[in-house]
Structure 1
Amino acid sequence: MKLHKESKGTLIVASILFASVAFLSINYFKDWALIILLPLLIIYGLVFWFFRVPKRDIQNHKENVIAPVDGKVVMIKEVFEPEFLKAQAIQISIFMSPLNVHICRYPVSGEVIYKKYHPGKYLVAWHEKSSTLNERTTVAVESLTQHKVVFRQIAGYVARRIVFKCNEGDTAQAGHEFGFIKFGSRMDIFLPIDTEIVCKIGDKTKGGIDVIAKMIE
């Protein structure tokens, strides 16, 4: 299993903690060692599982809007996007649980025209106000269909590290990685009002693969 490069620090700390507890348990709590270590071993395994990098067959897309993350669609609604678009847009929100792959991918192909990091609170990621109050990033891409698409990484209650490695002027390729969020979090995508939405609330998405909307040229 391939692990994401963002796993390095977390896995070092987790390994040291697990080894320390294992040493103490085996040497000082022999009768309870198995009871102590079994749940810790499960948690330790889940840390590896969280940072997995699955193989994905990423296709080229022009009109399609691709799910940027693995997760569950929790919101589809018309909203006013005040930061960049400053206009009405369709917001699609996808919640990622700690068991999901947390690689963040471009939803559309085009050119990165805006990026900004916002410090903030750590409300639970499915809270509607987390989109504007939590620690977050905002990226905008001018798509190949000449539309401006905004997407936002949002830290959740557990998440404490957002990574986004893109710059204005970069080429965005739908389905390809631009960032990572550690542990439970959310991704919001803001699309033009006339976009054809093909996903629905409750859908489980596979980042880089599933089509969630289609741009109208």
Structure 2
Amino acid sequence: MKAFVRPDAPSDSGFPIAKAGYPFIFVAVFVTAIAALSGWHWLTGLGLCASLFCFWFFRDPDRLIPADPNAWVSPADGRVVVARRVETSPYGEGPAFQISIFMSVFNVHVNRIPFDGMVREVRYQPGRFFNANLDKAAKENERNAILIETPSAVKFWTVQVAGLVARRIICKVQEGDRVSRGVRFGIICFGSRLDLYLPPDFECLVREGDRTLAGTTTLGSLK
């Protein structure tokens, strides 16, 4: 049986909500209340559905991470759509191992750090809003790329990519920050993907089609 540890302190709430969701939840609840007081039943029903969806979408459950210090963990909940060695990446010369995880609107959208290290660069790139499930989304969509250097001087990129519906990428880390495996670092609102560009000799344990949980699922390790 695998051993797990907590990457951070547990939440005080039984149903934790990401702070980025507060404005959306407030607006949905406010509109619902006004509609109910005004007797607009159809709008009240619509507002109630929107409120419940916002509560569900912005859920931020606590997670346990593998105790193995060499395990690289998933940065996102979702489905693996790419897990292969590529000859070039958008963020450097030479080959890399790419892992891409697609997050539908039904997945938790809070992003977590894959491995311990220091943030060396944060690079935001405006772009299009193609379906995040498509390969061209990695190069053409709005995205935020984070370069992290591990204690053993291995560098890798974690890229938040906006999707067809997503219109807001939130990143809480900046250059010079020290980060730890499994700790929250951002969120993308309403459907998106996470791309990892790792060293080409990365030993990947997931395959395309696999489902992942941010912080909990082990993606693999370095040789």
Unaligned runs of 5+ in 2: 1-14
Q: Does 1:113 align with 2:116?
A: no
State the SS of the aligned residue for 1:17: helix
Question: What fraction of aligned residue pairs are identical, expressed as a percent?
Answer: 36
- The answer to whether the 8 Å contact 1:61/1:108 transfers is no
Q: Tell me, in whole angstroms, the C-alpha distance in 1 between the residues paired with 2:78 and 2:57.
A: 13
- The answer to whether the 8 Å contact 1:63/1:145 transfers is no
Q: Determine the structure 2 residue equivalent to 1:21.
A: 35
Match of 2:25 among 4, 7, 11: 11
Q: Deviations over 1:99-123 (max 9, x none)?
A: 1111111111111111111111111
TM-score with structure 2 setting the length:
0.87
State the SS of the aligned residue for 2:53: helix
- The answer to whether the 8 Å contact 2:28/2:50 transfers is no
Q: Tell me, in whole angstroms, the C-alpha distance in 2 between the residues paired with 1:60 and 1:114.
A: 27
TM-score with structure 1 setting the length:
0.89
- The answer to whether the 8 Å contact 1:103/1:181 transfers is yes
How far apart are 1:22 and its partner, in Å?
2.6
Counterpart amino acid of 1:70?
D
Q: Does 1:201 align with 2:201?
A: no
Match of 1:168 among 175, 181, 184: 175
Counterpart amino acid of 1:11?
I
Q: Tell me, in whole angstroms, the C-alpha distance in 1 between the residues paired with 2:45 and 2:201.
A: 52
Counterpart amino acid of 1:139?
I
Q: Tell me, in whole angstroms, the C-alpha distance in 2 between the residues paired with 1:46 and 1:156.
A: 18
Aligned length: 208
- Higher Rg of the two aligned structures: 1
Q: Tell me, in whole angstroms, the C-alpha distance in 2 between the residues paired with 1:44 and 1:191.
A: 38
Q: Deviations over 1:105-144 (max 9, x none)?
A: 1111111111111111111111111111111000111123
Runs of 4+ with >6 A deviation: none
Q: Tell me, in whole angstroms, the C-alpha distance in 2 between the residues paired with 1:62 and 1:113.
A: 21
Q: Determine the structure 1 residue equivalent to 2:79.
A: 72
Q: Does 1:210 align with 2:200?
A: no
How far apart are 1:10 and its partner, in Å?
1.0
- The answer to whether the 8 Å contact 1:159/1:185 transfers is yes
Q: Determine the structure 1 residue equivalent to 2:56.
A: 49
Q: Does 1:157 align with 2:193?
A: no
Q: Does 1:81 align with 2:50?
A: no
Q: Does 1:122 align with 2:118?
A: no
Counterpart amino acid of 1:6?
A
Match of 2:143 among 108, 130, 136: 136
Give the superposed CA RMSD.
Answer: 1.7
- The answer to whether the 8 Å contact 2:33/2:44 transfers is no
Unaligned runs of 5+ in 1: none
How far apart are 1:16 and its partner, in Å?
2.1
